[in-house]
Amino acid sequence: MTEQKRGRDARFRLTDGLLIALMILPLVGCIVLKVLFTPESEGVDISGAMVFLRLPAPGQELIISESQVNSWAIMLTLLGLCLYLTHGLTEKAETKRQLIAEWIVEKCEGLVQANMGERFAGYSYLIAAIMGLSALSSLSCLIGLFAPTGDVNVTAGWAILVFCLVTWTKLQGGILNYLKGFMEPIPVFTPMNFISEFSLPVSMAFRHYGNVMSGAVISALISTALKGLSRLLLGALPVIGEIPLLGIGLPAILSIYFDVFSGLMQAFIFAMLTMLNVSGSFPQEAWEKRQRKKAARKQRVAAAGA
C-alpha cells in the first residue's frame, strides 16, 4: 500500500517536474535563440522583430520572426501552466495551485458574466486566453525577449479574431438585419458605418501594439541616453568609466511602468474591449425580441401542424 503510494507520489512529482519544464524551457529556448542571433550593435537600435526564416508563400513571403517564435513559446508556457494548475485536482482543493486555478476560472467567468451576460458565458475561454497571452507576451520583455505584442501583426491577428466574432454575433440576428444595421439611422450614414465597423479591429490592434512598442522604444532610448551620459561624465575614470553607472535604477523603474503596468493594463483593456464589442453587437433587448419571435413562429408551426 505505502509502496504503491510512494510510487504514485514519485510519478506525480515527476509529472510536475515535466510540466514545470514545459513552462520554463520554451522561454529559455527563446532567450538562447535571441542571444545566438542578436548581432553586435552599438548605439540606438530600434527595430522590429528579428527574422529567423523567410519562406516563399503565395502573395507575400511567410516570415517566421521573433514574435511568432516567442508567441509559440508563450503558448507552450501557458499550456504547461494550465496542465500544472489542473494537475491533481481533488474535490477538497488540497493544493494551492488548485485554488489558483479555481480563482482564475471563477474570476474569468465572473468578469464575462458581469460584462456580457449569461448568454455569452462561452466567451470566458477566449477572454482567459486573451488575457493570458497578451499579459505574458508583454511581460516577456522582462526576460529580455522581444514582446510579441510589440509586433502589429500579432495584435492585428487577435483584433481580426475579435472582429470575426463581432460580425458572427451580429449575423445571429439575421443577414438582413445585419445589412440593415449599416443604414442606421439613415441610409446616408452607410459609408461612415462601414468605416466605423472596420476601424474596430484596426483601433484595437494599433492600441495594443502602440502601447507596448512605444514603451519599448522609450525604454531603449532612455537606457541608451543614460549610457551615453555616464560615458560622458565618468568616462575619464579608470575602472568605473567602463560601467554605465547611471543606467542603474531609472530604467528599472520605467520598466515597471512601461513593461509591467502598461502590459497588464493593455491585456485587460483588450479583453474588456472584446467583451464590450461582442456583447454590444447584439444587445440583450434585441436578442430577447428575437427569442420571442422564434418562439411565436415555432408555436404557429406547431399549431399549423396540429
Partner 1 sequence: MQSLSIISVNIWDILISFANLAILTWIVKKFLFKPVKKVLDTRRESIDSAYARADEAEARAEEHRLNYEAAMAAAKQTADQMISEAAREAERRGNEIENEARAQARDIRSQAEADAQLERKKAEKDMKREIADVSVQLTGKLLEREMKPEDHRELIDSFLQELDGE
Residue 134 to residue 28: CA distance in whole angstroms: 19
Cross-strand partners of 63: 54
Rounded least distance, CB 244 to partner 1, Å: 23
The nearest distance, CB 33 to partner 1, in angstroms, is 10
**Which residue number, 154 or 226, has a Cβ lying nearer to partner 1?**
154
Whichever of 69 and 246 has its CB closer to partner 1, that residue is 69
* Crossing angle between the packed helical segments 152-171 and 190-234, to the nearest 10 degrees: 160
Contact set with partner 1 (CB under 8 A): 37-39, 46-52, 57, 59-63, 65, 67-68, 71-72, 75, 78-79, 82-83, 85-86, 89-93, 98, 101-102, 104-105, 124-126, 128-130, 132-133, 148, 151-158, 160-161, 213
Minimum Å distance from CB 288 to partner 1? Answer: 27
Nearer to partner 1, 23 or 246 (CB): 23
Our CB check for partner 1 shows the closer of 83 and 264 to be: 83
Least CB distance to partner 1 at residue 176 (A): 28
Q: Which is nearer to partner 1, 230 or 258 (CB)?
A: 258
User: 52 with 64: CB under 8 angstroms?
Assistant: yes
- The C-alpha cell 520598466 sits at 255
Whole-number Å distance between alpha carbons of 193 and 199: 10
Residues 6 or more apart in contact with residue 241 via CB below 8 angstroms? 231, 234, 235
Task: From 40, 41, 37, 18, select the one nearest 29 (Cα to Cα).
Answer: 37
- Shortest distance, position 13 Cβ to partner 1, whole Å: 19
Q: How far is C-alpha 169 from the chain's CA centre?
A: 21
